[in-house]
Chain A
C-alpha cells in the first residue's frame, strides 16, 4: 500500500478529529462547553474543506470553507453564547444518567455507519472516499446527542452538529453539494437558529425553564 500524500493524511486527521468531537459532544454535560465543541467542530470542518479545495482546485469549495468559517465557527456560536447569557442558562448541565452506556451505543453506531459507508465508498470516485464512514457516523452520533438531551439548547447544538456531519458527508462523497444548495442550507440553518432563538424566549416564558419534559403537559389527554 502506497503511503498517503501529506494532504490526504491531514484530511484523515481532520476526519478523526470530527469523530472525536462528536463523541465529546455526546458525553458533554455542560451546555456552554457543548457550544465550544460545536465551534471547534466547525473549525475542523472549515480546515478540511479548504484542504479539499486546495487538493482538487475547485474554487467553489473555498467559498464553502469561508461560509463555514463565518457561519459555523463565528456567527452561530456567538449567537448561541449570547442566547445562553440572555436566557441565563450559563451554568446549566444536562442530567444525563448513563454516559458510559451512551458512549457504548455510540460505538455500535460508528461500526454500523462504517458498514453502511462501505458500498458508498466503493461507488464514489473521490479521493476523500475513505472519510464517508466518519461523516455518516458524525451525523448519527449528533442525532444520538439530540435524543439523549433534555434541554432545548443542547438539542439545537446537536441539530447543528448533525448539519456539520451531513456537510462533511457531501464533501467526502462528491466534493460538496452545488453552491446553490449549500447556500440554501446555510440560509436554512441561519433562519432556523433565529426562529428557535425566539422560541426559546417563548418557551421559557411559558414554562419558566427550557427543560423539554415540560412539553409533555401539552399532550392531548385521551
Chain B
C-alpha cells in the first residue's frame, strides 16, 4: 500500500491544478511561462491523476470529509470505482490536451494567456471535484464552477458578438440544467434534509418520487450532455472555444453529465425502474441519429465535430438506457454488459473526439480556416497532423481494430440480448434500437470520410494553403498521446473491461465474468455467442496490406508514370472540381430532409457569376425555442404592464402589499 490514500493523492493533484492556474496570474501576459511551462505542469498533474485513478479502480471506496464548506455542511468526498473510471478519463484526456495546449496558445488571441491558464486549470480541477463529491452541496458547487469556468473559456474571443451569444446560450442552458439537478437533489433528500450522498443512498424513495428524481436528473444532466432537444448550445459553444478547450468540453465535460445520470439513477436512487430506461434509450437513439445527420450537413469542421459529439453522447445514453432496462428487470449480467459498453464508449469518445478537435486546432492555426470549403489537400503539408488525425477519424468511424468499434460492438451485443426481456412489445421494439445504432455508426463513418477527405485529401481549395506548416513538437506529442490511447483501447479490450468491471459491480451488482476468454479474445457473455479478437484482426489486416505491397513490388513491371488520380484523362483537373463538403453531404441531406430546415439559393442559368448557397438550420430551434422565447417575451410584457411610470402607482403597490401582509398577520 502506498503511503497516501488514493483519495488524498487525488485531492492533492486537483489542488495542484488550481495552484498552477493561480500561478498563471503571476505573469499573465507571458506565453512562455503561463502558456508553456504551466500547461506542461498541468499535464503532469493529469498523468498523476490517471495513475491514481487506475489504482483506485480496483480498490475499495474511500471517503473523506474536508473541513471547508458551509457551517454544518462540510464537503464530503468519496472515491469509488465509478468516480475512478471518469477520473481516469479526465486524467488521460487532459494530458493530451494540456501538452497540445502548451504548444497551441499564442499571444494576442482574446483572453491573456495567464487568465486562460487559470480558467483552464480551474475547469479541469472542478471536473475532478465533481467526480469525487459525495454530498449535494459539494457536487453543485463543483458543477457550477465547472459551468462558469467553461463559460469563460468559451468566450475567450469575447470581442466577437457571435461568440458572446454562443456563450450566453451555453450559460443559460447550463443553468437550466443545474436547476433540474438541484431540484433532483431536493427530491432525493426525501424530507430529511440530509444532503450527503450516503444519506440519499440509505433512503429508499417511493416509485413516484424516485421517478420524479430520475426525470429531473435526466433533464438536468441531459442539458449538459447535449441530448436533443437541449443540444442547441453545443454546436454554438464548442466551435467558439479554442481547440484544446473544445476538446475538453466535448471529450470530458459532456461525460460528467453522463456520470451524473449514472450516479443518480443507479447509485443514489438505488433501485431504478425499468421503464426509465426506455426514456433514456429513446432520447439517446434520437440524439444519435439527429447528431450524425446534422454532422453530415455541416461545412464548418468544428461544428461538424460538435454534432458528432451529440451523436456519440446519444449512443452512450442509449447504452445507459439499455442498462436501466436490464437492471430494472433484474437481468444483472446484461445490465453489466450495457454499462460496460457505455463506459467504454465514454472513454473511447473522450480520446478520439479530443484527438479530432486538437487536429482541427492544428489545421486552424496553420490555415486560419474553419470552413471545409476552403481547405483541402493538407496531408501533403501537415503530415503529422494528418496521420494522427486519421487514427481518430478511423476510430470514431468505428472501424476495427481501433477503439470505437469495440464499444459499439459491445452495445450491439447488449441490444441483441433484448429478446430475453419478459415484456412482449419491448422485446419486439428494442431490436429497432440496434438498427438505429448501426445506422448512426454507418453514418458516422460517412461523416468522417467527409471530414477527413475534405480537409486532408484532394487538392488545396485555396492558394494560401500551400504555405500551411505542420504543428510543433508539443502539439504532435498531444495528438500522438491521444492516438496511442485510441489504439491501445482498441487492441486490449479484455484488459480494459477487467478494469471497468469494478464500476459495473458498483452500479448493477455484478460484472462480466470470464467466459473462456483469453487475453487476446473478447467474449463478453459466452464464447459461443460472439467473440472478437482485435489483435488477430490487426495482424490480419497488417499482413494483407504488407503482402499486397510485397506482391505489387515483386510483380510490377517498374515503369512509373505520374498523373493526377481520378481525372479520367481530362488532364485539367482543378480544385473546384473536387467533391465539396456540401456536395458530399447532399445525399444525407436529401434522405433526411424532414430533419432540416434548408434555405437554398440556386443561380439562374444565365448568371455570369453563379453562386450556390445553402443554409441548413436546426428545426428544433424554430419548433421549440422560438415559441418558448415568444412566450417568455409575452409574459414579460404582461408583467411590464405593472410598470406604469407613475410614482403614486408604485406607492400604491407598496401600500396594498403592506395592507395585505398586515391582513394576513391579523388573520
Residues in A lying within 8 Å of B, measured CB to CB: 112, 115-116, 119, 140, 143-144, 146-150, 155, 212-213, 215-220, 222
Contacts and interface: CB of A to CB of B under 8 A. Distances in A.
Given A115-B666, A143-B658, A150 B648 contact: yes
B503 to A, nearest CB: 55
A147 B637 CA distance: 25
Contacts of B519: none
Nearest to A146: B651
Which 7 pairs across A and B sit closest by C-beta, in order of nearness? A219-B645, A216-B645, A147-B651, A212-B647, A143-B655, A147-B652, A146-B651
A220 B636 CA distance: 14
Nearest to A152: B647
B656 to A, nearest CB: 10
A148 B648 contact: yes
Given A115-B666, A147-B652, A222-B640, A215 B645 contact: yes
Given A116-B666, A222-B637, A222-B640, A147 B655 contact: yes
Contact of A215 (B646, B654, B658, B665): B646
Listed residue (A115, A143, A217) with the most chain B CB atoms within 10 angstroms of its CB:
A143
B526 interface: no
29 contacts: A112-B659, A112-B662, A112-B663, A115-B666, A116-B662, A116-B665, A140-B655, A140-B658, A143-B658, A146-B648, A146-B651, A147-B655, A148-B648, A150-B648, A155-B647, A155-B651, A212-B648, A213-B646, A215-B646, A215-B647, A216-B644, A216-B645, A217-B645, A218-B645, A219-B644, A219-B645, A220-B643, A222-B637, A222-B640
A215 B645 CA distance: 6
Contacts of A212: 646-648
Contacts of B658: 140, 143
Given A143-B655, A147-B651, A222-B637, A216 B662 contact: no
A217 B646 CA distance: 9
Interface of B: 637, 640, 643-648, 651-652, 654-655, 658-659, 662-663, 665-666
A216 B646 contact: yes
A174 B663 CA distance: 22
Nearest to B652: A147
Contacts of A150: 648
A215 B643 CA distance: 12
A222 B639 CA distance: 12
A144 B658 CA distance: 12
A41 B662 CA distance: 25
Nearest to B666: A116
A112 B655 CA distance: 13
B603 to A, nearest CB: 43
Given A112-B659, A155-B651, 11 more contacts: A112-B663, A119-B666, A140-B655, A146-B648, A148-B648, A212-B646, A212-B648, A215-B645, A216-B644, A222-B637, A222-B640
A219 B662 CA distance: 31
A143 B645 contact: no
Contacts of A143: 651, 654-655, 658
B658 to A, nearest CB: 7
Listed residue (B643, B651, B652) with the most chain A CB atoms within 10 angstroms of its CB:
B651
Nearest to B656: A147
A146 B654 CA distance: 11
A144 B662 CA distance: 15
Contacts of A116: 662, 665-666
B665 A149 contact: no
A150 B662 CA distance: 26
Contacts of B666: 115-116, 119
A91 B643 CA distance: 32
Contacts of B663: 112
Nearest to A112: B659
Contacts of B644: 216, 219
A44 to B, nearest CB: 24
Contacts of A119: 666
B643 A147 contact: no
A162 B664 CA distance: 22
Listed residue (B637, B662, B663) with the most chain A CB atoms within 10 angstroms of its CB:
B662
A27 B644 CA distance: 26
A155 B651 CA distance: 10
Nearest to B659: A112
A146 B658 CA distance: 14
Nearest to A118: B666
A122 B119 CA distance: 60
A184 to B, nearest CB: 22
